[in-house]
Amino acid sequence: MAKLKIESPLHAMIGALTTTIAVSIPVFLVGGLAVQIGDELGFSPAGLGLAVSAYFGASALASIPAGALVERYGAARVSRAGITLAAASLLGVAIFANTLWTLIAILALGAGANAMGQLASNTSLSRRVPARRQALSFGVKQAAIPISTLLAGASVPAVALTIGWRWAFVLAAALAFGALLLVPHDPPTAPTFRSRPAKRATGALVVVGFGATLAAGSANALSTFLVDAAVARGTAPGPAGLALTLGGAVCVAARIVGGWLADRRPDNQIGVIAGLLVIGAGGLALLALPGTLPLIAGVVLGFGLGWCWPGLMNFAVVRLHPQSPAAATSITQTGVYAGGCLGPISLGAVASTTTYPTMWSVAALTMLTAAAMMLLGSHLLRRHAPA
C-alpha cells in the first residue's frame, strides 16, 4: 500500500502543484501588493520592475545548476530544499524588508528556490505520470503560477488592506512550509536517469528558449504591473487586486484545459504556442485602452492565452528528452526566467518614462515577436519528433 501511494501519478501531480506554488509565490506576492509595499518602501514602477527582474535574473542563473542537482540528487530532495528556501525568503521580506534594496536582496537570495522547485517537479511528473496524461499533468503543475497570482491578488483586500502587507508574507510562508508534507518520494528507478545529458535537440531548445524569453517578458508584465496600472487609471486598489485574481483564475483554467487537449493531439505543441501568443498579444493591446471592458477583456485574453503556454512547452521538451527531463527543461526554463528578468525592468522603465498604455503596447509587440520565434523553434523541433 505504501508503495502504491509513493508512486501514484495523482500524488505526483499534487506534489508538483503545491511545490510550484510554494517556490514561485514570493515574486507574485510582491507584484500583487505593489501599491502597499511601494507606499511604505517608497519606490516607483521602475523600482518594482527592478525587484522582479532581480528575482527572475537570479532564477535564470540558477536554472542550469538546479537541473544538474535534480539529475544527481533526485526530485524529492531538491523540491524540499527549494520549498524551505522560498519560505525563508517570504519570512525575510516580512521581517527585514525596509528599503527597495533590502527587498531586492532578499528576493534574489531566495530566487534559486524557484528554479529548484520547477525543475524537480518536471522530473517527478515525467517519471511518474503515464505518457498519455503527461500534458495534463504539466498543465496542472503550471497552473500553480496563476494560482500564485490569484492568491496574490486576493491578498490585497483580504490581508494587505486589513492587517498589513507584511502579514501576507508571513501567511504565505506558513503555507509554503505545509507544502513540504506533500512532496512525493523519488521512485526507485530515479538514479538510472541522472547521468543522461540533454543534447539531442539543444539548438532547437535554445531557439524556443529565446522565444520564451520574449513571451515571458511580456506576460510577466500582467502579474507585475496590472494592479498598479489599473490604480493609475482610476481603479480602486481592491477591485484592481480582484482583476489580478480574475486573470489568475482564467489562466489556471486555460493551462489545465490546454494540457488536456494536448494529450489528445500531442504533436507540434510549440506551433500551438505561437498561435496562443498572437491572441495574447491582442489582450495586452486592449489593456492600453481606457475603460472597464478593455481591462476585463485584456486580462482574460492576456492571462488566458498569452500566459497559458509554459506547461505545453515543458511537455514538448520532455517528450524529446524523457531520460533527462530536468537538464532539458532547464534550457527552456532559463529562457522563461530571463524574460521574467528583462521584461519587468525594461517595461517598468517604459511605464516610468512614458505611460502604462505605452508599456502595454510595447509588451504586445514583443509577444508577437515571441510568436515568430516559436514558429521557428517548432520547425526545428520537427526534426527531432519522436516516432
**Helix (H) and strand (E) counts for the chain?**
17, 0
Please report whether residue 30 resides in a domain: yes
Among the ranges given (164-168, 251-255, 266-270), the one the predictor scored with the smallest mean pLDDT: 266-270
**Is the pLDDT at 6 greater than 50, yes or no?**
no
Write the pLDDT tens digit of every residue in 129-158.
Answer: 887 888 888 888 888 777 776 777 777 777
Q: Give 225: exposed, middle or buried? Use CB within 10 Å, 0-12, 13-18, 19+.
A: buried
Please report whether residue 244 resides in a domain: yes
Write the pLDDT tens digit of every residue in 77-86.
Answer: 999 999 999 9
For residue 89, give the CATH number of its domain. 1.20.1250.20
Asked whether the beta carbons of 280 and 258 are under 8 A apart, the reply is: no
Please report whether residue 269 resides in a domain: yes
Please tell me what DSSP assigns to residue 159: I
- State pTM to two decimals: 0.79
Asked whether the beta carbons of 118 and 20 are under 8 A apart, the reply is: yes
Q: Which residue has the cell 513571451?
A: 215
**Is the pLDDT at 381 greater than 80, yes or no?**
no
Please report whether residue 187 resides in a domain: no
Q: What is the mean pLDDT of the chain?
A: 84
Per-residue model confidence (pLDDT) at position 200: 54
Residue 81 in grid coordinates = 530544499
**Reported confidence tier of residue 201, pLDDT bands at 50, 70, 90:** low
**Is the pLDDT at 199 greater than 70, yes or no?**
no
Among the ranges given (9-13, 84-88, 197-201, 279-283), the one the predictor scored with the smallest mean pLDDT: 197-201
Write the pLDDT tens digit of every residue in 217-267.
Answer: 898 788 778 888 888 878 787 787 788 778 878 888 888 898 888 888 777
Please report whether residue 259 resides in a domain: yes
Q: DSSP per residue over 50-117, as a string? A: HHHHHHHHHHHHHHHHHHHHHHHH-HHHHHHHHHHHHHHHHHHHHHH--SHHHHHHHHHHHTHHHHHH
Between 319 and 279, name the one with better pLDDT.
279
Asked whether the beta carbons of 164 and 13 are under 8 A apart, the reply is: no
| Domain count within the chain | 1
Write the pLDDT tens digit of every residue in 329-367.
Answer: 888 889 998 988 888 788 888 888 888 999 999 999 999
Per-residue model confidence (pLDDT) at position 2: 40
Please report whether residue 374 resides in a domain: yes
Per-residue model confidence (pLDDT) at position 370: 95
Please tell me what DSSP assigns to residue 268: T
The percentage of residues in the chain with a pLDDT greater than 90, rounded to a whole number, is 28
**Reported confidence tier of residue 386, pLDDT bands at 50, 70, 90:** low
Q: How far apart are CA 182 and CA 80, in angstroms?
A: 10
The percentage of residues in the chain with a pLDDT greater than 70, rounded to a whole number, is 93
Q: Give 2: exposed, middle or buried? Use CB within 10 Å, 0-12, 13-18, 19+.
A: exposed
Please report whether residue 238 resides in a domain: yes
Residue 52 in grid coordinates = 522582479
Between 26 and 386, name the one with better pLDDT.
26
Write the pLDDT tens digit of every residue in 88-102.
Answer: 999 999 999 999 999
Asked whether the beta carbons of 297 and 177 are under 8 A apart, the reply is: no
Please report whether residue 192 resides in a domain: no
Find the domain containing 322 and state its range. 8-181+198-384
